[in-house]
Chain A
Amino acid sequence: MTSHRTSLGALIDRSQPLSFSFDGRQYQGYKGDTLASALLANGVRVMGRSFKYHRPRGPWGAWVDDPNAIMTVTLNGRSFPNCAATTTPLVDGMQARAVNAWPSAAFDIKSGLDLFHRWLSAGFYYKTFMWPDWHLFEPMIRKMAGLGGISRDVLEDYSADQLYEQCDVLVIGGGAAGLAAARAAAEAGKQVVLVDDHPALGGGLYQMHEVESVAAVDWIAEQVRAITSAGGRILSATTAFGVYDHQLVGLAESGPFGTPPRLHRMRARQIILATGALDRPITFAGNDRPGVMSVDGACEYLARYGVLVGQKVALISNNSLADAAERLLTDAGAQILRLDPHVGALRTVGGKKLRGISQGALRHDVDTVLASGGMTPLVHLWRHAGGKLLWCETRQAFLPGTAPDGMVAIGAANGAFDLEVSLSEARAAGVGRNPGVSTTSYTLAPLWPKPGSKGRQWIDFQHDVTLKDVELAARENYVSVEHLKRYTTLGMASDQGKTSNMAGLAAMAAVQGRPLPEVGTTTFRPPFVPMPLEMYHGQHGKQLWHPLKRLALEPQHRGADAALGEYGGWLRPGWYGKGEAKDLIRQEVLTARASAGIMDASPLGKIEVMGPDAEAFVNFIYYNTIKTLKPGHIRYGFMLTEGGIVMDDGVIARLDQNRFVISCSSSHVDSVRTHLEAWRQDGNDPDRIFIHDLTQQWATLTITGPKARDILSALSLDVDLSATAFPHMSLREARFDDTPLRIARVSFTGDLSYELSIRRAKAPALWDAVMRSGAAQGAAPIGIEALSILRAEKGYIMIGKDTDGETMPHDLGFGIPRLKKTAPFIGDRSLHNDKANGALRKSLVGLVVPSGTAPLPTGAHLVEGTPPRSLGYVTSSYDSPTLGRPVALGLVENGTARIGETITVHHLGESRTATISAPCAFDPEGERLHA
């Protein structure tokens, strides 16, 4: 195999040879190469296969404008699918394989598909595979489709950094224009960031000998030095992949191969777009053959990597930039044959290997065909930001038109293909002047696809969309650009149309006889090049994904062998001890009923409402009447939505005339606080009501059980705990360890209970004291699971479990305020709409099954009739250790009226029966509650 490496190549380090393999064969390249440049240097041209016909594919471009050379690259045992060979920097030991080709890109077993191409035209699958059934054909089609494969193994330590940043001026593109603009801006005192997606700055300058009378490499180095010494920052190998609202630019900074890019969310006051332009393909017969490349691509391979892509080269161009390219390639030793694409139909000759090109009757033996159909400015980011495009007849291209906020385009991206023009634009933009419309010496003769012409002429190389497919789409009236794209899949390949869109639009325009700009463009969507999902993911994974809130007493719980789990966003003890969870939970319930359970209830909401209007406010917020609540007393109540639905339940305590504490459920604290704030400020006088959420500042311990009073007495607090002095639903303030302590006598178990709330820092001392005095009474700590059973025995609900998004308070047995409360409250009017007044509402009931039978499955439905109709469902169900039989709660249509009835319980196809009862199964008279 001949070497294509010349003595040129500004960016490779010949002292550092690197070994790599492609499709199982070993090759050598140099540090600074890309996979594609190294393969080309080794004479390898077939680097992939097309998506549909499995035609051989070689690189068309040298950078992001290549849809062909797509590989799975393995390094150090880790594989990465769908790497573009043209943008993947070569690393020693890389093993690359062409995707979608087997056994290799050179000899692909599926290449026979191309023989059937006449039946696989655009959209053929819409016209067939309907009979007998699509499902019959689909598995085969799925197997054929797809590019690279992935393994199910998770890449360890593959984690992206994500940063927020800002700057005065962000210059995107580090070619001549970008460098000059960044320098001008930095020297004008602006905080500048310059990004370029190549590892080395300079853009197309390596193709030039001199810039402003200095060697190109030195000129680049001089700009870099000037930018950095003026305080500018340069991020190379960094792609601006998208522009988002309010001038946020997404930047992806590449690290070593195999690491995800680092995401910079860059907020820029001004954005200078210097993204350059791409050479576009010419549409002619066999233009997809490996060896047909872009003129600019060939020059880049030579200038950057010292790779001369061919010796005998046909250069086909319609524009004035070809002269410089010809000089460059000739100087490197290529024999150049210039062909005018306008004088006759072109057709490549050869098979997998290009043997020549014919024009009309003339055949030219060449090993390489370089084509340029004109330059297309890269305006993707301009369009992301909402900038308009303007068709330029001279350049036959869409140029930036009306600018989006804070953005200007310069250089080739703005149609300035002359270096001098580009630099003067850049220097103007750098100091904040509008560069305006560029003048140009660039000339070209329009050259677009010719409908009706012979041969298979590719428009989208990866997706195998040919001129005939565009003609077919037009014939079938898929003439809107979006229909064209979607019907033929033109522009939907990995390069997202960078090489195919213009030819596609032009072909459609030509078929229809419309001017090209009238056809319009498809929408430019981020990301500019494909980006690993991990870049968007970053560090907030695993346990840091919506991290749990932690209890002040977590060490104490761990010390007591708590099984910690997530409950309502908190890490809380589910139960304590080692052994079978079911047995431990059962024992906790029995202990709580026999002596007392001690529970960490700290996540319970503690939101204070204060001020002269506090009473009226809470009276409005609550469904229940609160204004009659006396200081030192507590009331159970509901908060509703304006739709009348129960949003939260809990107790509210009145500390004094103008001060209340709302104890909402643990998982609703944030939403309740927001709800209160919204109503405080919108509809009330915010100077007369103050809301203070102290949930995180206070810890709460609950002592529940018949021995609760004895346990609390042992703490020697200066409070009369007798049932008459301190009845159920009242509150006392005391001191513990020189700190205020609130004692609320409320119960969620049906037994005598005290909730002790104290400053978070004092929680361990209180815990120790309560545990000590509890131990003397046979009490023990209990977790959430035991509490769930205790409250279900008593028929107490958990919001969201025993209620759903349709539950109103009268469904739960709290109908009086709905009928009697005269003061307005949130949700009041909704409690009287047609649905609220209906007879078939689901209400809360108990469900009884015989002792010795299994508990009802939670989630089972209660049904009647044939076929069965759902009347409701089991919402909570446990084997009650206290009662020695199952207990269950449910929501049942018209349930209260059905108490005593037997009902069918349906679960996963099986049926049994239960008897509907009142919700409360334990101590219905409440003797223990008031003990």
Chain B
Amino acid sequence: MQIFTCPFCGPRNETEFHFAGELGKIRPATAEKITAQEWASYLYTQRNEKGRVQEVWMHLTCSELFVMERDSVSMQVLDTRSLREDAQ
């Protein structure tokens, strides 16, 4: 059982969290022309780093998304912070 620290609720059991994807996925502006390749890259490509990763997680009990930096080998959590740019 890993412990993740929700920036809003504090340290909680991993079972309360949902992996929402890698950080930095920007949705292409679909009102404009997007190639199939660009779209596939947005939809499916993963960095899947071995080691330090930056991910977006949801704390299911408060529904807030946040950014977590952790080590995908040691499982050490290095940092968690709000996804909202205006939040500290």
Question: Residues on A close to B: CB < 8 A?
Answer: 244-246, 248, 265, 267, 386, 405, 642-643, 673-674, 677-678, 681-683, 686, 691, 822-825, 828-830, 833-834
| Cβ-defined contact, A245 with B30, below 8 A | no
Chain B minimum-CB-distance residue to A678: B20
**Interface status of B69 (Cβ within 8 A of chain A):** no
| Cβ-defined contact, B28 with A677, below 8 A | no
Q: Which 4 pairs from chain A and chain B are nearest by CB?
A: A824-B30, A681-B65, A829-B39, A245-B75
Q: Kindly state the separation between the CA atoms of A244 and B28 in the bound complex, as whole angstroms.
A: 40
| Cβ-defined contact, A674 with B29, below 8 A | no
Q: Which of B1, B30, B31 contacts A244 (CB 8 A)?
A: B1
| Cβ-defined contact, A682 with B60, below 8 A | no
Asked if A643 meets B31 with Cβ closer than 8 Å, knowing A245-B1, A386-B74, the reply is: no
Asked if A678 meets B31 with Cβ closer than 8 Å, knowing A245-B1, A686-B84, A829-B39, the reply is: no
Chain B interface secondary structure, helix, strand, loop or mixed?
Answer: loop
B-chain residues with CB within 8 Å of residue A834 when the two chains form the complex: 36
Apart from A246-B3, A677-B58, list 9 A-B contacts with CB within 8 A: A245-B1, A245-B2, A248-B1, A678-B58, A681-B83, A682-B20, A823-B31, A824-B30, A828-B30
B-chain residues with CB within 8 Å of residue A677 when the two chains form the complex: 58, 63, 65
Q: Which of A405, A682, A833 contacts B65 (CB 8 A)?
A: A682
A-chain residues with CB within 8 Å of residue B39 when the two chains form the complex: 829-830, 833
Q: Kindly state the separation between the CA atoms of A257 and B1 in the bound complex, as whole angstroms.
A: 29
| Cβ-defined contact, B36 with A674, below 8 A | no
B-chain residues with CB within 8 Å of residue A682 when the two chains form the complex: 20, 56, 65, 83
| Cβ-defined contact, A829 with B56, below 8 A | no
Q: Kindly state the separation between the CA atoms of A458 and B60 in the bound complex, as whole angstroms.
A: 55
Q: Kindly state the separation between the CA atoms of A681 and B77 in the bound complex, as whole angstroms.
A: 22
**Interface status of B50 (Cβ within 8 A of chain A):** no
Interface string of B61-88 (1 = CB under 8 A from A): 0011100000000111100000110000
Q: Kindly state the separation between the CA atoms of A405 and B56 in the bound complex, as whole angstroms.
A: 26
Query: What's the minimum C-beta distance from A145 to chain B, rounded to whole angstroms?
Result: 35
Q: Kindly state the separation between the CA atoms of A386 and B75 in the bound complex, as whole angstroms.
A: 11
Offer 12 A-B interface pairs, CB within 8 angstroms, sorted by A: A246-B1, A267-B1, A642-B43, A674-B60, A677-B65, A678-B20, A681-B65, A681-B83, A822-B31, A828-B30, A829-B30, A830-B39
| Cβ-defined contact, A824 with B75, below 8 A | no
Q: Which of A678, A681, A829 contacts B84 (CB 8 A)?
A: A681
Chain A minimum-CB-distance residue to B40: A833
Q: Kindly state the separation between the CA atoms of A405 and B1 in the bound complex, as whole angstroms.
A: 15
Q: Kindly state the separation between the CA atoms of A822 and B31 in the bound complex, as whole angstroms.
A: 7
Q: Kindly state the separation between the CA atoms of A825 and B58 in the bound complex, as whole angstroms.
A: 22
Query: What's the minimum C-beta distance from B81 to chain A, rounded to whole angstroms?
Result: 13
How many pairs of residues, A versus B, come closer than 8 Å at their CB atoms?
A: 55
Query: What's the minimum C-beta distance from B41 to chain A, rounded to whole angstroms?
Result: 12
Query: What's the minimum C-beta distance from B73 to chain A, rounded to whole angstroms?
Result: 10
B-chain residues with CB within 8 Å of residue A246 when the two chains form the complex: 1-3, 75, 77
User: Number of B residues whose C-beta is below 8 Å from A?
Assistant: 26
Query: What's the minimum C-beta distance from B62 to chain A, rounded to whole angstroms?
Result: 10
Query: What's the minimum C-beta distance from A543 to chain B, rounded to whole angstroms?
Result: 21
Q: Kindly state the separation between the CA atoms of A573 and B75 in the bound complex, as whole angstroms.
A: 46
Chain B minimum-CB-distance residue to A386: B74
| Cβ-defined contact, B18 with A683, below 8 A | no
Q: Which of A265, A673, A674, A833 contacts B1 (CB 8 A)?
A: A265
| Cβ-defined contact, A824 with B36, below 8 A | no
B-chain residues with CB within 8 Å of residue A824 when the two chains form the complex: 29-31
A-chain residues with CB within 8 Å of residue B47 when the two chains form the complex: none
| Cβ-defined contact, A681 with B64, below 8 A | yes
Residue of A248, A673, A678 with highest tally of chain B CB at under 10 A = A678
Query: What's the minimum C-beta distance from B46 to chain A, rounded to whole angstroms?
Result: 14
B-chain residues with CB within 8 Å of residue A673 when the two chains form the complex: 63
Chain B minimum-CB-distance residue to A682: B65
A-chain residues with CB within 8 Å of residue B84 when the two chains form the complex: 681, 686
Query: What's the minimum C-beta distance from A559 to chain B, rounded to whole angstroms?
Result: 35
Chain A minimum-CB-distance residue to B82: A681
Q: Kindly state the separation between the CA atoms of A823 and B32 in the bound complex, as whole angstroms.
A: 10
Q: Kindly state the separation between the CA atoms of A142 and B4 in the bound complex, as whole angstroms.
A: 46
Query: What's the minimum C-beta distance from B55 to chain A, rounded to whole angstroms?
Result: 12
A-chain residues with CB within 8 Å of residue B3 when the two chains form the complex: 246, 267
Interface string of B1-45 (1 = CB under 8 A from A): 111000000000000001010000001111100101001000100
| Cβ-defined contact, A674 with B58, below 8 A | yes
A-chain residues with CB within 8 Å of residue B43 when the two chains form the complex: 642-643, 830
Q: Kindly state the separation between the CA atoms of A742 and B27 in the bound complex, as whole angstroms.
A: 37
A-chain residues with CB within 8 Å of residue B56 when the two chains form the complex: 682
B-chain residues with CB within 8 Å of residue A825 when the two chains form the complex: 30
Chain B minimum-CB-distance residue to A643: B43
Q: Kindly state the separation between the CA atoms of A823 and B29 in the bound complex, as whole angstroms.
A: 10
A-chain residues with CB within 8 Å of residue B27 when the two chains form the complex: 683
Q: Kindly state the separation between the CA atoms of A642 and B1 in the bound complex, as whole angstroms.
A: 31
Residue of B31, B34, B63 with highest tally of chain A CB at under 10 A = B63
Query: What's the minimum C-beta distance from A167 to chain B, rounded to whole angstroms?
Result: 15
Q: Kindly state the separation between the CA atoms of A673 and B43 in the bound complex, as whole angstroms.
A: 21
B-chain residues with CB within 8 Å of residue A245 when the two chains form the complex: 1-2, 75
Q: Kindly state the separation between the CA atoms of A855 and B2 in the bound complex, as whole angstroms.
A: 52
Chain A minimum-CB-distance residue to B27: A683
Query: What's the minimum C-beta distance from A163 to chain B, rounded to whole angstroms?
Result: 13
Q: Kindly state the separation between the CA atoms of A825 and B31 in the bound complex, as whole angstroms.
A: 9
Query: What's the minimum C-beta distance from B45 to chain A, rounded to whole angstroms?
Result: 13
A-chain residues with CB within 8 Å of residue B18 when the two chains form the complex: 674
Asked if A833 meets B58 with Cβ closer than 8 Å, knowing A245-B1, A265-B1, A681-B83, the reply is: no
A-chain residues with CB within 8 Å of residue B1 when the two chains form the complex: 244-246, 248, 265, 267
B-chain residues with CB within 8 Å of residue A386 when the two chains form the complex: 74
B-chain residues with CB within 8 Å of residue A683 when the two chains form the complex: 27
Q: Kindly state the separation between the CA atoms of A246 and B20 in the bound complex, as whole angstroms.
A: 22
B-chain residues with CB within 8 Å of residue A678 when the two chains form the complex: 20, 58, 65
Chain A minimum-CB-distance residue to B62: A677
Residue of A265, A386, A642, A682 with highest tally of chain B CB at under 10 A = A682
Query: What's the minimum C-beta distance from A272 to chain B, rounded to whole angstroms?
Result: 21
A-chain residues with CB within 8 Å of residue B60 when the two chains form the complex: 674
Q: Kindly state the separation between the CA atoms of A265 and B27 in the bound complex, as whole angstroms.
A: 41
Q: Kindly state the separation between the CA atoms of A674 and B27 in the bound complex, as whole angstroms.
A: 18
Q: Kindly state the separation between the CA atoms of A824 and B39 in the bound complex, as whole angstroms.
A: 13
B-chain residues with CB within 8 Å of residue A691 when the two chains form the complex: 63
